[in-house]
Structure 1
Amino acid sequence: MALDIVFTNGTFHTQDPDRPVAHSVGVHQGKVVSLDDELSPELFARTVDLKGATVVPGFHDAHCHLSFLGESLVQLDLRPAAVATMGELIATVRDAAQQAEPGEWIMGQGYDQNYLDGEHPTAEALDSAAPENPVWLWHNSRHMAVANTKAFELAGYPQRKGFTVPEGGDVPLDDDGAARGLLQETARSIVSGVLPAKTTAGVADQIAAASDAAVAAGITSITEPGLGDPSNIGQCPTDLAAYQLAKDQGRLHVRATVMPYMTTLHPVDPTGDTVAEDFPGEDQSFGLDLGIRSGMGDDWLRIGAVKVLSDGSLIGRSAFMTEGYAADAEQGVENVGYLQFPQEWLERRLIAAHANGWQLAAHAIGDGAVDVVLDIFEKAQEQYPREDTRHRIEHFGVASDEQVARAARLGVVPVSQGRFVNELGDGMAKALGEKRTRLCYRMKSLVDAGLVAPASTDAPVVEYPPLSNIHDMVNRRTASGAQFVPEECVSVDEAVHAYTVASAYASHQEDVKGSLTPGKLADFVVLSEDIYSVDPTTIKDIEVTATVIGGEIMHGNL
């Protein structure tokens, strides 16, 4: 019986240290079965000539909100590339309102106040553009949003008054004591509860649309952090079912590891009796229904770590810091940000999840939050020792030398975003000041400390194409062209390794993907140029000519 397919006449950079370069790869039943002349091409039913092209393993985005990326494809595009001024943003909302029915929601996302003279859209400005429609605009960080008066009214707060600001959030007020429109962090829940409800089928449509876009960019797998709690992160309580539906329909075209949000975990009594307590004791389980935890699934869809936010964002100046933000200090304001949840809340739940076998993934951007999370991880391991936990800190945005060394000692996986340097770097530098910026989104320091540091984008917070991300990891320049801590630049090989082997490691999957090694999944990307030999300042211009997943050509013509 013939084997499936062999790809010949290419330069495969395998990311396997025992066989770093090969010129042909044989595939059968979705996996690599041979390199070079280990098996004769005559044994394969089909041969594809790559005509000398450069090939790398498939890119795995270790922190990508795929479902939200799909949502962004159908909402108003308010990214700086689409709207350059506040006037253009308001005009975009006005145009949408003129085409909408009265009472229909106007939804948009991607605005960044750092490109709008430091200002957020106000409810009054949105009212003038859409007087008959509720408006909800996501900030590009998705840690805050802006709503107009109609939206507040639907939430039960006429004149944008009468609400209670939840802990871990903030609502700026005008001179009359009414909300200006901005809802920061947990305060999003003041209005988000009345947004149009998402359905399982609708979220599946978003996942399908985003997965097609991802494949075209060379992404063969992703990890989506935080499902199931739309008041925090997630689309709807049936997010996992939406992924399953997209897979069953044959529309999930990237491999997906999904993280439930921490608030979806609850006490699970193995006796079947109702658990009276609101939090488990040492003799009770803590997890999803049916006791599901990290690792369940297959090569296309599996459950990974449990995700929780500990703090906010740098450009929103809500990330929890050990020192105040320089930009606020210039205005005479001491602001160190804040935690999303009380530290005790975080500690009890993260330790319970650890004790019940979960891999942990805590969003921590500020160095104050990094300290809190490292303390919890270390305490969890002391109380309930486990081998090879690979607990993750998502972003690891600002970290001192001591924190980097401690993370290495604890075996923590820091999941940073190189693309932030370009798209958000100018705003982050302004918020932090020169001294603190040196500690921001470190990369080379992580590698040199022995940490396994994967690559990710946090899309749709920033653009998702891996080659743009690799470009920024290697070059580290902001949108204005300024250098951003150039000593943290990594090599091309280190960046590709981060996007392949290291990202697979972050989700305990390096034994099945990340390198082109016999026995592993046949996921790879064909490039228009050799990423290892081009001028590093042109990496972003390289094109993905084909994406192969499981030996199947999912994008491009070969």
Structure 2
Amino acid sequence: MPVDLLIRNARILTQDASCPAATSLLIHDGKILEVDPGADLAALAVRTIDAAGTTIVPGFNDVHAHSVWFGLGLMEADAGAAASLDEVYRIIADAAAGMAPEEWVVASGYSPLLLGGQQPDRDRLDEAAGGRPVWIKHSSGHACTLNGVALELVSARADLSAPIDGGAVVVGDDGRPTGLLEENAMRLVQDILLPYPLETIEHALDLATSHYLAEGITSVTDAGIAGGWIGYSPREFAAYQNARDKGLLSVRMQPMLVMDALHNVAGHANDPASRSLDAGIRTGLGDDWLRLGPVKIFSDGSLLGSTAYMTEDYVGCTHNHGYLQMDADQLRESALEAYRAGWAIAMHAIGDHAIDHAIDIITEAQETFGINLQPNRIEHGGVVRPDQLDRIAAAGIVLVPQPHFITEFGDGMAQLLGPKRTNWSYPAKSLLERGVTLPGSSDRPVSNGRPLDVMQSFVERLTPSRQVYGPDERITAAEALAAYTTGSAAATGTGHIKGRLAPGYLADMVFLDQDPTAVAPSDIAATRVLATMVGGQIRFGAENLPAPVRTADLEAALTGKETP
């Protein structure tokens, strides 16, 4: 039987303990058929790629990103590039130039933490935008800034002085709203501008997933769509399906629906009450290319915005220890109803007090209704006490930290947390020592999502000022690579088909110009992605590899015999 492809003469880090290193792979029908095949089996390949010593690893899998948000950011003004408030105003002015008088100026990526906590002035934004409404999305995803014109539009629809559960309209000393909207208060502007057209969301997915390929990413879990302040349309999953049908979805996707997208679904009188989608759709629906993940549940806010829920106050912020985004009893009840309906839980919890709630809820769900086929997860883990790590390990919960937050925001986070909690922040080594699954993730676009950069952050844990952030949580380069491959596969319930280059596994892999586990920690990020293969097809960087040739022609060239 003819076989599709042979890759030979490579340095392959398979991530398979039974065969950790190899030199060749036989690929057929989008999967690995054999590792280091014998001559008779290799001869069945129709085509061959001579990798000329190139390093090959399994495709990188980011288990917590926001692809639509990232793709939209590629279409919007980039406020993340601003090094001062004056630059913010210039970016807004440049974006507004030529726009219609009433058109919204939208910018993404602003990080107050990188500017010493400074917020743009609403009146200066009015001036910069020429009287147009301005919406600046913060990089944390947990806050945004409006100018005065936009605030007037919002106030025409809602009372800005009314209390908001799990959010705040920040007011200055003069009694006026500053333009800063935190957490659930962001819905005030989203109610005006959302939902986005499906075609816009599809274009965002096209831009995002095409970018992923250039970084060696072959699988992504999108952590929250179709609802809450993080969704862009109630029909958002349809945009994923449409993008796939149109060939715009370049990598494998596992979207999480936000809890707000679920509702009580009627059933037989003997059926338990459940929170789900109509027809009983739940976690796991789909195929190897597009599959529904857990339900995303927000419990607290952001460490960057000092809204994550802590047991102790932030340093220098008396009487501020963050807050839950919903009543604790409501949080528990809704999570248990969704779990009972078949949804795995992915609980956003950054502060240690929020993590207490997350562990309690997930543990109760598992003990009451049994173990879900997909792992239950706690997203982020900004501060995790040692006793909580023990409970997480005992319950088999997956913790999903983002080490590149340290590289980008570590100095500001350490200042807010103090030394003790900094050592408990975004753990890695402590998870591995307890046998807890450690996946690779970025929270992109909150942080840079290039996997090789994040792997270096796993290993070095250096802040922008080059201070070591939680030195006991450093891991090796090999462990960081495992996080982005086998660890991510385990975290997403796909460990039987992804994360390894072994027979029967998907032929998703990355061709690199060096072995990232064999260089100095400071050189890991310098590793260059030469090409990315998904399902046995080179989808990025074909020009960087020798062109596939007929296997018979290659053998003839090597042996000096004529092709039969």
Task: Trace 1:543-554 onto structure 2 (pairs within 5 A).
Answer: 543-554=528-539
Query: Which residue of the partner structure matches residue 102 of structure 2?
Result: 103
Matches within 5 A, 1:30-69: 30-38=30-38, 40-69=41-70
Number of positions where the alignment pairs a residue of Structure 1 with one of Structure 2: 542
* SS across alignment from 2:427: coil
CA distance in 1, matches of 2:322, 2:90: 32
Superposed, which structure 2 residues align to 1:163-202 within 5 Å? 163-195=161-193, 197-202=195-200
Instruction: Pick from 300, 307, 310 the counterpart of residue 318 of structure 1.
Output: 307
Which stretch of the first structure deviates more once superposed, 113-122 or 142-151? 113-122
C-alpha distance in 2 between matches for 1:288 and 1:136? 32
Q: Does the Cα contact within 8 Å between 2:342 and 2:372 map onto a contact in 1? A: no
Report the Cα distance in structure 2 between the residues aligned to 1:244 and 1:527, rounded to whole angstroms: 31
Please list every run of at least 4 consecutive aligned residues from structure 1 whose deviation after the TM superposition is greater than 6 angstroms: none
2:407 corresponds to which of 403, 422, 444: 422
DSSP-derived class of the 2:182 partner = strand
* Partner of residue 154, structure 2: 155
Which residue does the alignment assign to 2:17? 17
Do the aligned partners of 1:63 and 1:222 also contact (CA within 8 Å) in 2?
yes
User: Where in structure 2 are the equivalents of 1:52-451 lying within 5 Å?
Assistant: 52-79=53-80, 82-157=81-156, 162-195=160-193, 197-229=195-227, 231-271=228-268, 283-328=272-317, 333-386=318-371, 390-451=375-436
Deviations 1:105-140 (A, max 9, x none): 111111111222321113222112114211000111
Percent sequence identity over aligned pairs: 40
CA distance in 1, matches of 2:193, 2:274: 34
State how far apart, in whole Å, the 1-side matches of 2:41 and 2:485 are.
28
Contact 2:400 2:438 in 1 (8 A): yes
Deviates more, 1:149-158 or 1:252-261: 149-158
Contact conserved, 1:161 with 1:178, CA < 8 A, in 2?
no
> Post-superposition shift, 1:267?
1.3
What does residue 448 of structure 2 align with?
A: 463
Counterpart residue number, 1:276 = none
For residues 428-450 of structure 1, what are the alpha-carbon distances to aligned partners after superposition, in whole Å with 9 as ceiling and x for unaligned? Answer: 11111122211111111111111
1:422 and 1:327 mapped to 2: Cα distance? Answer: 23
Would you say the 8 A contact 2:309–2:324 is kept in 1? yes
Aligned to 1:506: 491
Q: Is the 8 A contact 2:209 2:249 kept in 1?
A: yes
Alpha-carbon distance between aligned partners in 1 of 2:212 and 2:246, rounded to the nearest angstrom: 18
Q: Using the alignment, how far apart are the partners of 1:327 and 1:120 within structure 2? A: 18
> Partner letter of residue 426 of structure 2?
Y
Give the deviation of 1:162 after TM superposition: 4.1
Partner of 1:520: 505
What amino acid does structure 1 have at the position aligned with 2:107?
Answer: G
CA offset at residue 371 of structure 1?
A: 0.2
Amino acid at match of 1:312: G
Structure 2 contact 161–169 (Cα < 8 Å) conserved: no
Q: Distance in 2 between matches of 1:533 and 1:386?
A: 39
CA distance in 1, matches of 2:122, 2:5: 58
CA distance in 2: counterparts of 1:383 and 1:200, whole angstroms = 39
Task: Deviation per CA, 1:172-222: give whole Å up to 9, x if none.
Answer: 212332210100011111222112540111101100110000011000000
Consecutive unaligned residues of structure 2, counting only runs of 5 or more, are 546-564
Structure 1 residues 162, 402: CA separation in 2 closer, same or farther (over 3 Å shift)? closer
The question of whether the paired residues in 1 share the 8 Å contact of 2:374 and 2:492 is answered with no
Larger displacement relative to structure 2 (37-46 or 257-266): 37-46
Q: Kindly tell me: are residues 184 and 282 of structure 1, through their superposed partners in 2, closer, same or farther at Cα, counting changes over 3 Å?
A: farther
Q: Decide whether the 8 Å contact of 2:64 with 2:220 is kept in 1.
A: yes
Aligned-pair distance for 1:387? 5.7
Structure 1: distance between partners of 2:366 and 2:468 = 39
Tell me: CA distance 1:547–1:389, structure 2 relative to 1, closer, same or farther (3 Å).
closer
Distance of 2:185 and 2:219 partners within structure 1: 32
Change (3 A) 1:165 1:227: same
Q: Secondary structure at the match of 1:538?
A: helix
Whether the 8 Å CA contact 2:373–2:493 is kept in 1: the answer is no
